[in-house]
Structure 1
């Protein structure tokens, strides 16, 4: 089945971007159905690649390969092996497949010790689910595979959301080790259950946490706070809007033998404001909020959200204290994020010193040809009062 692109093919496609939009297509062969693999040609009948098609999506085709090859189990096995070679890690817990960045758009695969959690977000990738599961079993021989495909994008693809064990079985809370700490991936929680992308950024607090009073806001299951406790923090306050997340924080703290902490359930914006009013200050504040904007049209509201939460964090950080701040909003660039931090510093009367600049870890690679694969920004800031 063939698809022909318009004459003025975008450089974006020519230079390696896998997305083809509806308005970039000149014509289709008959009888193409949603989820089919199609051969993609330019207006001169020159082969460009193969991908899967979905007429329900604005992204009409996602390219899987630029070669004229069969899309079958061996194809997926090669993709997985290539991804593992890129990672070249001895870690037991890491992201195995990162969608477009690993040439498998629509697929996320995380490894939590002996268990695998996968997320399928597109109809085209859904059609290959059994081959993907077979490939994972062959390469990893896991104790179980949990599918956590409940992203809102599935509805746009014409798919129902799904969560459940698709190979063998396992616990609701999947235990795994990370940086010398015991954690749990929550099969009923966010994304794949735990955020592996911040594990290296959390280690940047190693030389600063000893004997410090710390706050982990938007903590989810406590990644930054647990690392601060591991590194000798005097006390950590964990804050999240989800009672379930806080329950898991308590479980993880117990598993690691930590007692010098407290938990708060509530809205971080409001609680940080109340801390300021009551003059409750911290040596280190971590803020790792969810994405404030999924689309560029919501960019300005995201700017306001990030500035507000960082300003409130700066106001409750002691002079020369630290803020570990993050943005996972893809539509906000590195430069824009730093400008937001600068603006919050000016409004709060602080000098903002960048101690460490973090990024996505090696198992969440980003492709310079595919801007959408770059999303995570992390800064470790020292906050100094401008006036005495």
Structure 2
């Protein structure tokens, strides 16, 4: 049995995009699995296929293969080799080991928290392979434990059940992770994503290093959409005070615990809607030296893009108005539907409307262990800018 694509589906695969939508497939098998993908001229590649999903075809090997499963495991080996030095050099690190399509491992995300691995597989064809996946991970990495955390709503779109179960070892409730000088607690079976947002790790470290390099000694900081407080903890040694803002009481409780772990006594915590609070602070005439904006994805769908850009502009405009001359705004977007050019155009518009002269000090993206494929724009999703208000 093979998958037969429409001409448009063939063009996508030839352009080296691994996703083919159900509407671009002429023939599909009845059951999920690993199948060859073909056009009129023969086999184009091998893919994880799910007839119940809108993304019916997820190619992991372009061209024909005598042993497609062996090709899939080679992709896993390549992904682990890419991170092996970082994994071995720091036992307490938080590290992404596989980044799904960007590592030619469709729908497979594996994060390591102090060598406790959390696996999320969102492609149906992984289900019968999970046992072997766990064995291969353990043989390659000697992990402390491996947990299949399949509780994401994304699995329902694939027609898969949601569950959490061990693949190897005994996974503790939480792990203590190191990020530069900061230590933080990750709940391995709960919380957002696999437990933390590792894609911002390098940007958090960069912000702390930037403040140190410019000799920042004192001032006020504001960390909006703070979640576990990891940006605030990188800022805290360089500022007199940092206020963390989040709408989630559970997130702020985790941030308080992380503050205690790091003996950061200059942090305060505010449970509030970020949009409302920023407007209130502007009306009150409050001023800050550093503001961080790390909001959730405002654009879950392509149709949300304009509304998302308006929301990004609103929070960035308010933040810019709160900054003193010489102040810094560290701002991000994790919406892949908002393109990088649109993000910077939005920031320029926010600066103009705030009547602030703003200089770009750094233009960054997701951490190095979240690689991007040039032919797959969906793998390039995180935008991060460090801005300096000149006047």
Give the TM-score range, shorter chain: over 0.9
* Higher mean C-alpha deviation, range 125-134 or range 112-121: 125-134
Residue 49 of structure 1 corresponds to 45
Residue 308 of structure 2 corresponds to 302
Please, which of 216, 228, 235 is the counterpart of residue 228 of structure 1?
Answer: 235
Residue 314 of structure 1 corresponds to 320
Residue 134 of structure 2 corresponds to 133
Query: Deviation of residue 182 (structure 1)?
Result: 0.7
1:201-212, aligned counterparts within 5 Å? 201-205=203-207, 206-208=209-211, 209-212=216-219
Cα separation, 1, equivalents of 2:334 and 2:112: 21
CA contact (8 A) 1:34 1:123 kept: no
Work out whether 1:246 is the aligned partner of 2:252. yes
CA contact (8 A) 1:76 1:132 kept: no
Work out whether 1:325 is the aligned partner of 2:337. no
Query: Deviation of residue 178 (structure 1)?
Result: 1.2
Deviation per CA, 1:278-302, whole angstroms, max 9, x where unpaired?
A: 2222100001000001211111110
Deviation per CA, 1:179-224, whole angstroms, max 9, x where unpaired?
A: 1211122231100111111111122322324323111111110121
Query: Deviation of residue 77 (structure 1)?
Result: 4.2
Cα separation, 2, equivalents of 1:134 and 1:26: 36
Name the CA shift for 1:382/1:68 in 2 (closer, same or farther; >3 Å). same
1:266-277, aligned counterparts within 5 Å? 266-277=272-283
CA-based RMSD: 1.8
Deviation per CA, 1:61-108, whole angstroms, max 9, x where unpaired?
A: 111212414354x55542232113334533432100000000001110
Cα separation, 1, equivalents of 2:155 and 2:310: 29
Work out whether 1:96 is the aligned partner of 2:97. yes
CA contact (8 A) 1:76 1:131 kept: no
Q: Structure 2: 5+ residue runs without aligned partners?
A: none
Query: Deviation of residue 10 (structure 1)?
Result: 4.2
Cα separation, 2, equivalents of 1:305 and 1:34: 41
Work out whether 1:35 is the aligned partner of 2:38. no
Cα separation, 2, equivalents of 1:229 and 1:256: 10
Q: Counterpart of 2:390 in 1: which secondary structure?
A: strand
Query: Deviation of residue 149 (structure 1)?
Result: 2.4
Cα separation, 1, equivalents of 2:331 and 2:347: 9
Query: Deviation of residue 168 (structure 1)?
Result: 2.4
CA contact (8 A) 2:320 2:354 kept: yes
Cα separation, 2, equivalents of 1:298 and 1:49: 33
Equivalent pairs, count: 379
Cα separation, 1, equivalents of 2:371 and 2:151: 23
Q: Counterpart of 1:319 in 2: which secondary structure?
A: strand
Cα separation, 2, equivalents of 1:290 and 1:8: 33
Cα separation, 2, equivalents of 1:76 and 1:174: 30
Q: Counterpart of 1:4 in 2: which secondary structure?
A: strand
CA contact (8 A) 1:184 1:194 kept: no
Deviation per CA, 1:16-57, whole angstroms, max 9, x where unpaired?
A: 1111222322334xxx3332211112112x211111221221
TM score, norm. by length of structure 1: 0.92
Cα separation, 1, equivalents of 2:123 and 2:290: 40
Please, which of 372, 379, 391 is the counterpart of residue 366 of structure 1?
Answer: 372
Deviation per CA, 1:117-148, whole angstroms, max 9, x where unpaired?
A: 11111212233222221221111222222222
TM score, norm. by length of structure 2: 0.92
Cα separation, 1, equivalents of 2:66 and 2:102: 20
Cα separation, 1, equivalents of 2:72 and 2:44: 20
Q: Structure 1: 5+ residue runs without aligned partners?
A: none
Cα separation, 2, equivalents of 1:274 and 1:69: 64
Residue 201 of structure 2 corresponds to 199
Work out whether 1:288 is the aligned partner of 2:294. yes
Cα separation, 2, equivalents of 1:236 and 1:344: 24
Cα separation, 1, equivalents of 2:187 and 2:284: 34
Name the CA shift for 1:131/1:318 in 2 (closer, same or farther; >3 Å). same
Name the CA shift for 1:244/1:69 in 2 (closer, same or farther; >3 Å). farther
Name the CA shift for 1:383/1:164 in 2 (closer, same or farther; >3 Å). farther
